[in-house]
Amino acid sequence: MKAAILPVTPLQQNCSLIWCTATNKAALVDPGGDLDKLKAGVAKAGVELEKILITHGHLDHCGQAGMLAKELGLPIEGPHEADRFWISRLDDDGARWGMEAASFEPDRWL
């Protein structure tokens, strides 16, 4: 297994790209924003994105996860359903912090 850290958003949150060296299948953990930067990181690593993993519902960790999932046709796993409140506020929180963000429904709550 390998990993790369990709700082995103004005808050410099560490999004992680993790992948299996045997299969080249990968996941992005907490893609809060800067989707072009994240897609470039995936391309540079030469891996195949399989899913998006979310640790919690704060803006900088998942603000653009739904956008990325929709664009690339990927499932979102996580966070825990207790974070539904935060995810439902992403549109408003993004506007408040001057960041593009959108609410989403994960494919699987943890």
pLDDT in tens, 35-80: 999 999 999 999 999 999 999 999 999 999 999 999 999 999 999 9
- Are the C-beta atoms of 106 and 82 separated by less than 8 Å? no
Whose CA is closest to 8, among 104, 99, 69, 103? 99
Superfamily of domain covering 2-97: Ribonuclease Z/Hydroxyacylglutathione hydrolase-like (3.60.15.10)
- Mean pLDDT for the chain overall: 96
Burial 13-38 (b: 16+ CB within 10 A, else e): bebebbbeeeeeebbbbbbbbbbeeb
Write down the pTM of the prediction: 0.95
Q: Where are the domains of the chain?
A: 2-97
